[in-house]
Structure 1
C-alpha cells in the first residue's frame, strides 16, 4: 500500500496552551509517554482499510470544560486545555479528572480547512468517543452518536463557513457503570479487575474531503475453497450509470479486476492463492475506483487476506477449530488493552504495535481482545504480523446469575434487560462487527463473558452468525452455556482444565477461555505501592517461570483429548492486577521472551490430531 501523505500543516489548527501540556498525576507511565508530541499526537492515518490522501488529523490540544449534565448549549468559555485523543481521566490528557453521570464534558477547537478541500464534501470522523456524543460545527448541531467503541462519521459540509476558521464543539456524557450501556472494565470506583473510567474522545479525530459521490465502505469476504475474494463497495449519492472497479494486487502486480454496479458484489478469482496464517501472514492489496461517465472520480486503497476459519471433526468425533481447513491449536493471552498513561489509548503508534510484537515474540499465535475494541491500526498490525484475534463485545449492565461450570446445557440465567439496555447492546455490537469485518486476523466473535449482562443468548448468537457467517461465535465465554454457537469455553484459575469431551465434544469446539493469572508485582512498576494482587502470587521470576511452564506442559494432553484453544491471563498488569506477562508500564517482561517461545512451541505440534475425511 502506498505511503499516505498526512495533511497536517502548521498553523491550520489553532488552540492555546500547546507548550503548557504535561503528563498529569503521579502514576507510572510507559517509555512512550516522553515521545508524545502535544502538537501532533498519534498522527498516523487511522483507517488502513479505506485509504484516501485528502485528510487532516485533528488530534492535539483542544479546550475543555466539565459542566452540569443539564448543560446543552455550547460554552462561551473553557476551563483549560486537553490533549486529544486521550480520555480526560488519563495522565496523557494533561487533565486527569473524573467526570461522572452528573456532568458533561465539552470540547472545542478551531480548524482551518486545507485548500484541497474546496468544492468537496467534508466528513468529520471519530475513531471512538465514550459514550453519548453531540457534535457541533460553527454552532450548528451536525449529529449525535451513542456507543463508546465504534467509529462514526458526520457530513459537516453544510455547516462549514466559506472561509476562515471553523469551530468544532463536542459534548460527551458518560455514566460509566451507573448506566446500562457497554463499558467493559470501566467502573466509577476502580478495584480488583475493574479499572478507571474512560470518558470522551479516546481515538483519533480527523476530517476527510470526498467527492459529491464517493465510496464510503467496503465489505471483503475471502473464499479459499473457491479461490475468490468477494468485495462489495457502498457508494454514497450514486448516480445512474456509475460503476465500481475492483482490482487485486500481489506484490504490486495486478492479478484480478472486475467492474460492477455500486452495491453489487464483485467476485475476483485469486489464482494460486497464498493463504494467510500466523506463520505466513500474506496480504494482498486492493484498489477500488468509482467511475462516472468513463472518468475515475474517487479511489480508495485497502488490503485483504485469503484465509478461512471453520469447524471440523477429528477421528475421535471431537469438534476442532480449523484454520484454512487444518487444525491449528490457538494459544494466546487475554489482552485488556489498557495503558497506565493513556488508559484506553496507547501513547503512540509504536506502543500500540509493541504489545502485539511482544506477544508474537513470546510464541503466541492468538490474542483474545477482552471486553474492549481497539483502533483500526491495532487490527492492521495483527493482520500484518500474523496474529489471530478473538474479539469480545464490551460488557455492560451486569448483575445476572453466572453459572461457570459446564455440567449440562440449560443452567444459564439470561438477564431481563430493559429495552434501552438491549438496544444499546444490539446497536453497538452490530456497528463493531461491521467496522471490524474486513480484518482477516479476527476469527472468533465473543458476545458475552462470564454472564456479564448476558441476555437472550440464542437470539444474540443467531444475529451474530447471520451478520457474519464467515467466522466462529463463542457464545458465552466462561459460563452460562447454551447449545448455540460453535464453542464451549471454560474459565479456570489458576491451573488449566478443559470442558468434558463426553458432554460437549461432538457438539461444539472445546476451549479454555481463561486460566493462569500468575502474579508478580515488580517494585517501581506497579500502579500502587501495596495491595496489588494476582490469582496466584509469586515473589521472584524464577518461581513464576517454573510454575508457568508446569501449567503449559499440561496442555498437550488436553489438546490430544479435544482442546482447540487456550487463553492465558494476561498480557500486562492492569492497575492493581499484577498477573501480566509484562508490567503495566511495559518496562519489564517478567519471564524471558525466548524461554516463553520455547515453552509454547510444543503446543503447535498437532500431528496427533487426525481430521475425519
Structure 2
C-alpha cells in the first residue's frame, strides 16, 4: 500500500531562492588555511614518474556573449583577467574562491603560466602532454596564443600534445569554456540552474586536476586489461604511438610487461614493434597500433570484497615506462541452490548491501577537497556495513575507483543523463502512483522519447558517445561490477540497444539497463525504486533469468542546521530527532536484509551523505557527523 503522507511530503516543488551558506569539510578548511593537498597521480593504472601537477592558483574572467556556443571556437583571449581561481574547483564552489556562476550566455576564460622543463629541450624525442581530467562542458585550449585543441563533454579526461607550441622558459596556457548547464540537452547529471530538492548546484569549467607529463615520442598511449579469473589468463591490449623519421626517431622496439605479486614476478611477455619502413609504418607521421600481450597465471589469487588482492604491472616500450595494476575476478548472474538468480563474484553468490553515493561536497561541489576525502567516504561506507556503492549520475575522479579497488568496495557505475527538461508526470508522479505503468512504456518510439525528454537526436548521439567513453575509461577497475544505463526515465531511450552496445564493449560485467521504472525487459536485473511502498520482492515474469534488486529505497531525512548549507530540508520522510532517525534507518535496512531469503539479490540505500537541501544522508554534508552513531563526530 502506498504511503500517501510520505509521497505528499516529498513531492517535487519549486526550488526556494535561499542563498546557501558556506560550509567546509575538514579537508577544505585545511586548504583555506593554506595547506596544499598532496598531489597523487590521477591515474594509478597508467602511471609515469614524470607527473607534474598544474593545480593551484590560475587567473580567470567571465565574458558575456550573445551566443556562447557559437563564440567559443572563434573566441580571442581577453587582455585582462580580473580575478584568480583555485583549480581544480569550479567557480561555483567555495574552494575556488570565486563564488560566481557561469551563465549559459557567458564564456569562462582561464590563464596559467608555467616553466617548460629543461628535459623537454635536452632530449630530442621528448614530448609534453597536457592533461585535463574533466572540464564542464565544452572548451578550447591555447598555448602561447596558439590553438592546442578542443574538447566537448563534461565528465571524461582528455589531453593535448603541446610540444610544438612551447618555448624555453615561461609559457602561457589559456582555456575558454562554455557550459549551458540544463539550458542545453547535453549529458549533465544532477546539475540544475534552479537547484533544489534532488537537483543540485550547476557547476562549470575545470573541476578535476590539470597536469602534464614528459613522454618519449614512441610511447604507450592506453592500456586495456582483461584478467580472466576462470582461465588464469591475463590479456593486455596496449595502444602504441610512434613518431617516425620526420622527428628523428624510430620505433622503440619490443613492448614488454612484467606481472608481479608483491615483489615477486609471476609472469612476463613481450611483443615486437614494427620497424620504420615496414608496411604499417607511415613515414614522417605519427602512427598508432595495438599490441596484445598474454600471460598465463596458474591458480591466480582472486580479488573479492573480503580479499581485494591486486597484482602489479610494469610495462616498458623503449624509453617509456608505465606502472599499473590488475586483479583476477569474475562477475556473473547465476542461480543459487533454490533456483534464485543472484549476482556472483568468482561464481559465489553475493548479497549486495549498497548505498547511493552522489559524490558532492559543500566546499568543492563535484570535486572532492582531497584524495583523503575520497578514501574517507569509501571507508565510512564499509564501516557502516555496506559492501557496494552506487556512483550516481556522475563519473568520479579515477582515484576514487582506485581506492575502491584496493579497499574491496564494489561499485555500480551510473551513466550520465541529459536531454530536454524532464516531465514531472512521466518521471515522478505517474510511476509513483501507478506501478502498472512501469513495464508498459516503450522508450524507442517518438512518443516515448518525447515523454522521457530524449527526443533530441543530438542528445541521443552524445549520450551514446559518453557511454562508450565511460566504459572505455573505467573498464580496467575490478571494483566496478555493474553498469547502470538509465535512471527513473531521465533522458531514457532505446534501452535494449544501449544494453547491446555496452554488452559488446564489455561482456565481463552485469548491466542494470533501467533503474527505477520503465523496464524494457533487458539487462541483468529487474531494478526497482521503492520509497513509498512496503518492501517486497517482485516476480520477473518477462525475464526470469534476471536478478531482482531494489536499486533505491529509504531516503529518510534528518536535518542538522549547523551542518547544512540551507535551512530547508528535503527527503522521503523526516524524523524529528537523531534517535528516531537512527532507529528508522536501521529498521529499513533490516527489512531489506530479511528479503534476501525471499529472493532479493541486493539493495541500494539512499544515501551516504546529505547534499544541499537533500538531508537524507547517513552523514552530514560536511562529513563531520555520523547520523547512525547518535550524532557523534564522523572523524
**What TM-score results when the alignment is normalised by the length of structure 1?**
0.89
Structure 2 match to 1:137: 143
CA distance in 2, matches of 1:270, 1:556: 37
CA deviation profile, 1:458-510 (whole Å, cap 9, x unmatched): 11111111111111110011011012111111001156624512525723111
Does the alignment pair 1:307 with 2:337? no
Structure 1 unmatched runs, 5+: 1-23, 291-295, 596-613
SS at match of 2:581: helix
Question: In the TM superposition, what is the alpha-carbon distance from 1:222 to its structure 2 partner?
Answer: 1.5
Does the alignment pair 1:547 with 2:584? yes
CA deviation profile, 1:44-93 (whole Å, cap 9, x unmatched): 21111101011210001000001023461011111110000000000000
Structure 1 match to 2:474: 436
Does the alignment pair 1:259 with 2:289? no
Structure 1 match to 2:357: 335
CA contact (8 A) 1:390 1:444 kept: yes
Match of 2:507 among 460, 469, 472: 469
Question: In the TM superposition, what is the alpha-carbon distance from 1:394 to its structure 2 partner?
Answer: 1.5
CA distance in 2, matches of 1:489, 1:562: 13
Does the alignment pair 1:411 with 2:441? yes
Structure 1 match to 2:227: 222
CA deviation profile, 1:143-166 (whole Å, cap 9, x unmatched): 1111111111111111112x1111
Distance 1:495-1:251 versus aligned 2 partners, 3 A rule: farther
Structure 2 match to 1:247: 258
CA distance in 1, matches of 2:499, 2:628: 38
Match of 2:49 among 53, 61, 67: 53
CA contact (8 A) 1:40 1:59 kept: no
Question: In the TM superposition, what is the alpha-carbon distance from 1:386 to its structure 2 partner?
Answer: 0.7
Structure 1 match to 2:26: 31
SS at match of 2:96: coil
Q: Report matched runs for 1:143-222 at 5 Å.
A: 143-161=149-167, 163-222=168-227
Question: In the TM superposition, what is the alpha-carbon distance from 1:265 to its structure 2 partner?
Answer: 2.2
Tell me whether 78-87 or 252-261 shows the greater mean CA deviation: 252-261
CA distance in 1, matches of 2:190, 2:270: 45
SS at match of 2:405: helix
Question: In the TM superposition, what is the alpha-carbon distance from 1:557 to its structure 2 partner?
Answer: 3.5
Structure 1 match to 2:525: 487
How large is the Cα RMSD of the aligned pairs?
A: 2.1
Q: How many residue pairs end up in the alignment?
A: 565
Structure 2 match to 1:609: none
CA distance in 1, matches of 2:91, 2:496: 38
CA contact (8 A) 1:56 1:207 kept: yes
Question: In the TM superposition, what is the alpha-carbon distance from 1:281 to its structure 2 partner?
Answer: 0.8
SS at match of 2:544: coil
Distance 1:493-1:300 versus aligned 2 partners, 3 A rule: same
CA contact (8 A) 1:362 1:593 kept: no
Match of 1:526 among 564, 567, 570: 564
SS at match of 1:537: coil
**What TM-score results when the alignment is normalised by the length of structure 2?**
0.86
Structure 1 match to 2:605: 568
CA contact (8 A) 1:41 1:60 kept: no
Distance 1:594-1:264 versus aligned 2 partners, 3 A rule: farther
CA distance in 2, matches of 1:434, 1:261: 25
Distance 1:465-1:49 versus aligned 2 partners, 3 A rule: same
Structure 2 match to 1:14: none
Tell me whether 493-502 or 434-443 shows the greater mean CA deviation: 493-502
Distance 1:67-1:534 versus aligned 2 partners, 3 A rule: same
Distance 1:518-1:506 versus aligned 2 partners, 3 A rule: same
Distance 1:553-1:451 versus aligned 2 partners, 3 A rule: same
CA distance in 2, matches of 1:591, 1:334: 16
Distance 1:356-1:505 versus aligned 2 partners, 3 A rule: same
Distance 1:139-1:570 versus aligned 2 partners, 3 A rule: same
SS at match of 1:272: coil
Structure 2 match to 1:587: 624
Does the alignment pair 1:125 with 2:131? yes
Match of 1:277 among 292, 301, 304: 304
CA distance in 2, matches of 1:499, 1:445: 22
Match of 1:513 among 544, 551, 559: 551
Does the alignment pair 1:65 with 2:76? no
CA contact (8 A) 2:55 2:209 kept: yes
CA distance in 2, matches of 1:556, 1:78: 56
Does the alignment pair 1:457 with 2:495? yes
CA distance in 2, matches of 1:184, 1:264: 36
Distance 1:408-1:520 versus aligned 2 partners, 3 A rule: closer
CA deviation profile, 1:523-573 (whole Å, cap 9, x unmatched): 3111112x2122111111221122122222222442122211100000000
CA distance in 2, matches of 1:587, 1:557: 31
Q: Report matched runs for 1:96-107 at 5 Å.
A: 96-107=99-110
Match of 1:348 among 344, 364, 370: 370
Match of 1:95 among 83, 89, 98: 98
CA distance in 1, matches of 2:616, 2:253: 56
CA distance in 1, matches of 2:467, 2:79: 36
Structure 1 match to 2:79: 76
CA distance in 1, matches of 2:515, 2:57: 40
Structure 2 unmatched runs, 5+: 1-18, 244-249, 274-289
Structure 1 match to 2:285: none
Question: In the TM superposition, what is the alpha-carbon distance from 1:39 to its structure 2 partner?
Answer: 8.2
Distance 1:47-1:109 versus aligned 2 partners, 3 A rule: same
SS at match of 2:63: strand
